[in-house]
Amino acid sequence: MLKALRDIRTLRVVIYHPKDRERDELVAQIRRIGCEVEAVWPPTETMRPDADVVFMLFRQDGFTHVLLKALVESGSQATLIAIVEFESPAVIEAIARAGAVSIVTKPIRAFGLLTSLVLSRTLSAKEKNLIDRTRKLESKLEGFRRMEKAKAILMSRKGFSEQEAYDVIRMRAMSARVSMDVVCATIIDADEFIGL
């Protein structure tokens, strides 16, 4: 079974939508699904930091601007589901820039909300996983670059072979009980300082 479906009842959902019959129905349906839900209006300049899923009404108005600003500033990891009344280029652009992974159109219907929640959470988890993997790979690549630069410095300044330079870095790391990356960074920093 999908993890997102299995964990659906643990989700904290926040709905940013003016109070009306449709919002009340959305809140009721999300509660029936089993999620903890909170409806917020008018929007504040900060987002609830512990939200797992955010349903947000996108309009061409100041409230949407306040919400988008709060979303960016919060660094929220919540899954964003856009609520759309009508399609316009400005609204579509705002939804895409905000990183919404799903949309719910108005008038809001109960049918499809569970599917939207599960698929949105699944897509968000996959995206987060890819971003994490990319960051780790970038960090690893940067570490390789530092190693090559540190070895080049030792080879140039001390006349070591590539293997000797590597061995010196490894031995220094072991004796100081730090990572080889720390030793490489120290060598590079010292060379840049001396080079001034």
User: For residue range 72-125, what is the model confidence (pLDDT) as tens digits?
Assistant: 666 677 888 988 888 888 888 888 888 888 888 888 887 888 888 888 888 888
User: What pLDDT, on the 0 to 100 scale, is given for residue 117?
Assistant: 84
User: What pLDDT, on the 0 to 100 scale, is given for residue 75?
Assistant: 65
User: For residue range 114-160, what is the model confidence (pLDDT) as tens digits?
Assistant: 888 888 888 888 888 898 999 999 999 999 999 999 999 999 988 99
List Cα–Cα distances, 37 to 24, 41, 50, 97, 168, in angstroms: 11, 13, 12, 25, 58
Q: Which residues of 154-187 are buried (b: 16+ CB within 10 A; e: fewer)?
A: beeeeebeeeebbebbeebbeeeeeebbebbbbb
User: What pLDDT, on the 0 to 100 scale, is given for residue 4?
Assistant: 65
Q: How far is the C-alpha of 114 from the C-alpha of 106, rounded, in Å?
A: 16
Within 10 A of 61 (CB to CB), how many other CB atoms are there? 10
User: What pLDDT, on the 0 to 100 scale, is given for residue 1?
Assistant: 52
User: What pLDDT, on the 0 to 100 scale, is given for residue 171?
Assistant: 93
User: For residue range 27-85, what is the model confidence (pLDDT) as tens digits?
Assistant: 989 998 888 888 888 777 777 778 888 898 888 776 777 777 777 666 677 888 988 88
Structure tokens at 172: 């220094």
Contact 59, 71 (CB under 8 A): no
Within 10 A of 60 (CB to CB), how many other CB atoms are there? 12
